[in-house]
Amino acid sequence: MGFYVYVLKNEVTGKIYKGQTQDLKKRIAEHSWSHTKSTRNYSKEWKLVYFEIVNSREQAITREKYFKSAAGRKFLRPKIESSSSTDTRPNVPFGTGGE
């Protein structure tokens, strides 16, 4: 079973949230229902704008940390800006050197 590294955008405030989970659908619902400490003080309108699937929790944590770095934010910027598209799959698979 894979792990997900995901990026959410709040449709009202524009706030970006990056996280990782084993159950993406459940985790997005938790954010929308304000069941998470980090997003409960924001509007409940969170939209999935990007995600990747990795093989292990360790890879997911590493990738989440990358997304939170300056290089990771630069990598994500065009993907988040084009989030009006319904396709949130990555253009370049993780681990191919195109990160």
Is there a domain that residue 35 lies in? yes
Domain range holding 22?
A: 3-81
- Neighbouring C-alpha atoms within 13 Å toward the C-beta of 15: 14
Whether residue 86 is contained in a domain is answered as no
CATH number at residue 66: 3.40.1440
pTM to 2 decimals? 0.73
Give how many domains the chain has, as a whole number. Answer: 1
Domain-located, residue 17: yes
Asked if residue 27 is part of any domain, the answer here is yes
| pLDDT digits (tens), the chain, 99 positions | 799 999 998 888 888 899 999 999 998 888 776 656 555 555 567 889 999 999 999 999 999 999 999 999 999 999 888 765 444 445 444 554 444
Tokens 């989030």, residue located:
83
